[in-house]
A and B are shown apart, each in its own frame.
Chain A
Amino acid sequence: MRRSAVREETILLPGSAGAYVPDPSGAAQPGDLTTELIETDWWSDDLVARAGIPVVDVPFVSIGGGIGSFVTVDYLRICGVPTSSIRVLTQLEHPWESYEYLTRVSQIPREERLRSDSASCPDNIWGFPSYAVREAFATKSPRRLLQVAVEPIFDDYYTPKAGHAFATMEKEYHRISYPETVVKGQVRMVRRRVGGGYFTILTPPENTTPTRRVAYRSRFVHVAIGYPGLKFLPDLMDYRERHRDYSSVVNAYEPHEQIYSRLRAGPGTVLVRGGGIVASRVLQRLIDDRDARGLQTQILHVFRTFTTKSHGPHIWMRRRGGDGWAYQGFNYPKSVWGGQLKSRMRKLEGNARADLYKIFGGTNTPRRRSWQRQMARGRAEGWYRPFQGEITAMEPHGAGNVRVELKTEHGLEKVTVLGVIDCTGLEADISEHRVLADLLEHSGAGRNPLDRLDVDRTFEVRGTRNDPGRMHASGTATLGGYFPGVDTFLGLQIAAQEIADDLARLGFCKRLGPIRSTSQWWKWARGKPV
């Protein structure tokens, strides 16, 4: 029997974990977890054998199967590891499935551009030739080369189209024979093994194996499970639960085409909440529709923090802002991916690290010229009104409308809108993911200054070492560590490089020095297998 482990306030992602619940009749199932296993932190081979769980031996296991697993496997393959030494345990059909879902519903379909640097290429560990160069050749136009040469001074930052990123990843996916490493199923837990290494318990899809569980016994484990969960804000949940209305008050990370359809059917006012990239994209969609179809959409835009000018602690640390927004090209100041801020953060511990995260944290969005023009036109013509405020109440108001009460700097304001698009989001605590919760409880893992999974500079999960084994983690679960940009394309590659270097020191793969790097790049450039 299965039920969804995804709680009601959590946004459902592809491949989201469905938790296994024991048969209520208490009947034992072949090869299932036993109470003894569940309660024991260190597992011996005998203990697993007694439970009747079959064991598969493989040196390296990656859990998650998203882009984090993909770029790590890419690095290892380039460093000479055969596919037979790697198993990726995943529920996803392909590594970009969850990411593509989230970008698509948040208004970045394949033909739109991501918020990612030209040289952040998950299909190419060298970042050369970058997306801009490849796009210039593909389109036979120097426009993108010129843009990347003068960004961000005379033009916006170049960013690749989502479809370009997915198509090139798919090519690399086949080049490195990634599908050979994939095993479908849901990972339940990782436990340390008596004698070294780890056991990873996989629940394969029902009726595909003779036993309910399969144990992967490996020297190395890589945890890349992505977002523990994306949560709705409490006021949005409260409205939905009280009024059973799931179509007028929506989060931008869930499908919400119905709002755009209703605006096409007749004039209406919509309330957008949030000051991040998703709010920018939603505004663009609303305004594009308005322009293309001659709609009369009125847009109210509420910011909790309304930024009017450059801001920051001192003259050396000022972020640009205006018209409500805090502006920044990418998710973090650019140098976290290789320069000064990366180097600085790497040296910081505890509160000092948390403080620096706080300085460059906060919601922000890129200052794209096309968006600036759209918003300026909207303000001038009176159909776009940004303001500071907080939603204090929402009630249904006939014909699918919503009456929203807002606390603003001018006092309480009441507006009636056709829909509310909430572009804010909360990431769930790491303990809401079963695998991470189990690591914290049974395998010695701990939390970092931002309360996420504590990893070392090599991305080894602190406290889990079991010589000669190692457990590494990458992705958003590790935010708060010595490297900040973990939840980005380039961040995943930086983590992958650190992990590959660590594994090379342990003799698992070859070191990526200048000769191997160049010869492997040449293979990449010709589309030849590693």
Chain B
Amino acid sequence: MLPTLNGRIQTRIFLLAVVGGLWTLLISPVLPGIGSGSLAEIYRMTFIVLLTTLILGIGWEFVYHLLQQFRWEKDWPTFFGLITVVNEGVLVWLLLGLGVVPGLAGGVPLSAFLVLFATTWLLVWLAANGPMRVPFVHWRFHGGRLL
């Protein structure tokens, strides 16, 4: 990808909200290890994880933008977009473990978290590397900005 900082943030919000939101809606009921909670409780848990990822992600974009400055091409290789699942996933998991994420005092089962986080990440990454350009034909030439 060839993002600008503004484009990164806009793309992050859009893709996590739309692709991530739809996927979370679909996958939440069948996540492993979620026990016998009601559907409302499950959705509450998974959407808080998604929202946490989105909010922390905006912070991460500043870090990535800084790292991008060391690159001559000022690009963000496709692989970086995939591998950053590790640092972002670990941070969200640590914060969940510390109980500092509002609304999730009871924590999240690890297996459910891993499946939710990894599959959402993969879908968002795939969407950003192709299908996104179908409805938004200007997007890739505008540094990832939608507005």
Chain A residues in the interface with B (C-beta under 8 A): 119, 125-130, 133, 148-154, 312, 315-320, 328-329, 333-335, 337-343, 494, 497, 512, 514-515, 517-518, 521
Q: Known contacts A342-B141, A514-B135, A517-B136: does B130 contact A129 (CB below 8 Å)?
A: yes
Q: Which of B7, B75, B130, B137 is the one whose CB lies under 8 Å from A125?
A: B137
* Residues in chain B near residue A316, CB distance under 8 A: 69-70
Task: Give Cα A337–Cα B140 distance, bound, in whole angstroms.
Answer: 8
Contact assessment for A342 and B133 in the assembled complex, using a CB-CB cutoff below 8 Å: no
Question: B48 at the A/B interface (Cβ < 8 Å)?
Answer: no
Across the interface, A130 reaches (CB within 8 A) one of B3, B77, B130, namely B130
A-B contact pairs, 13 of them (CB 8 A): A128-B130, A150-B78, A150-B79, A154-B79, A334-B74, A335-B75, A338-B143, A340-B68, A341-B74, A342-B141, A497-B137, A497-B138, A514-B135
Q: How far is the CA of A342 from the CA of B75 in the complex (A)?
A: 11
Q: List the 9 closest pairs (A to B, CB-CB), nearest first.
A: A339-B2, A335-B74, A514-B135, A338-B2, A334-B73, A334-B75, A340-B74, A128-B130, A333-B73
* Complexed CA–CA distance, A133 and B133 (Å): 15
Per-position 1/0 for B128-147, Cβ under 8 A of A:
00110111111011111000
> Is the CB–CB distance between B79 and A339 below 8 Å?
no
Add 13 more A-B contacts to A333-B74, A334-B73 (CB < 8 A): A125-B137, A127-B133, A152-B77, A333-B75, A334-B75, A339-B3, A339-B4, A339-B7, A339-B75, A340-B3, A340-B74, A515-B135, A518-B135
Q: A338 near B141 (CB under 8 angstroms)?
A: yes
The complex places the Cα of A515 from the Cα of B134 at a distance, in Å, of: 9
Task: Tell me how far the C-beta of B144 lies from the nearest C-beta in chain A, rounded to whole angstroms.
Answer: 8
| Bound-complex Cα distance A328 to B130 (A) | 24
Q: How far is the CA of A99 from the CA of B67 in the complex (A)?
A: 37
Q: Which residue of chain A is the closest to B6 with respect to CB atoms?
A: A343
Residues of A within 8 A of B138 (CB): 497, 512
Residues of A within 8 A of B1 (CB): 339
Take A333-B72, A338-B141, A342-B143 as given contacts and tell me if A151 and B78 are in contact as well, using a CB distance cutoff of 8 Å. yes
Residues of B within 8 A of A342 (CB): 2, 141, 143
Majority SS of interface residues in chain B? loop
**In B1-33, which residues have CB < 8 Å from any A CB?**
1-4, 7
Do A317 and B72 contact each other (CB < 8 Å), given the known contacts A130-B130, A339-B3?
Answer: yes
| B19 to A: closest C-beta gap in Å | 15
> B82 at interface (Cβ–Cβ under 8 A)?
yes
Give the one of B72, B78, B138 with max A CB within 10 A.
B72
Cα distance A173–B141 in the bound complex, in angstroms: 24
A133 and B129 alpha carbons, distance in the complex (Å): 11
Chain A residues near B134 (CB-CB < 8 A): 126, 128, 517-518, 521
Which residues of chain A come closer than 8 Å to B82, judged between CB atoms? 149
Inter-chain contacts of B130 with A (CB < 8 A): 119, 127-130, 133
Residues of A within 8 A of B143 (CB): 338-340, 342-343
Query: By CB atoms of chain A within 10 A, which of B70, B73, B138, B142 has the most?
Result: B73
Chain A residue at minimal CB-CB distance from B134:
A521
Inter-chain contact B78/A338, CB cutoff 8 Å: no
Please report the C-alpha to C-alpha distance between residue A339 and residue B75 in the assembled complex, in whole angstroms. Answer: 7
- Nearest B-chain residue to A525, judged by Cβ: B134
How far does the alpha carbon of A339 sit from the alpha carbon of B65 in the complex, in Å? 11
Please tell me if the beta carbons of A497 and B141 are within 8 angstroms of each other in the complex: yes
Contact B135–A319 (Cβ < 8 Å): no
Contacts of A514 on B, CB cut-off 8 Å?
Answer: 135-136
Distance A515 CA – B70 CA, assembled complex (angstroms): 38
Expressed in whole angstroms, the Cα–Cα distance for A128 and B137 within the complex equals: 10
The answer to whether B72 touches A312, judged by C-beta atoms less than 8 angstroms apart, is yes
Which residues of the other chain, B, contact A151 by a CB distance below 8 angstroms?
Answer: 77-79
In the complex, what distance in Å separates the CA atom of A340 from the CA atom of B141?
10
Which residues of chain B come closer than 8 Å to A127, judged between CB atoms?
A: 130, 133, 140
CB of B52 to closest CB in A, whole Å: 27
Closest Cβ of chain A to B28, distance in Å, is: 27
Q: Known interface pairs A128-B130, A153-B79. Does A335 touch B137 (Cβ–Cβ under 8 Å)?
A: no
**List of A residues within 8 angstroms of B78 by Cβ:** 148-151
Asked if A335 contacts B135 (CB within 8 A), the reply is: no
Complex Cα distance A126/B82, Å?
22
Bound CA span A129–B144, Å: 18
Q: Which residues of B contact A497 (CB under 8 A)?
A: 137-138, 141
Q: Bound complex: CA of A128 vs CA of B130, how far in Å? A: 5
Which of chain A's residues have a CB closer than 8 A to the CB of B142? 338
Q: Is the CB of A338 within 8 A of B140?
A: yes
User: In the complex, A335 Cα to B1 Cα: how many Å?
Assistant: 8
Query: CA A521 – CA B131 in complex, angstroms?
Result: 10
Q: How far is the CA of A514 from the CA of B133 in the complex (A)?
A: 10
Is B72 within 8 A of A318, CB to CB?
yes
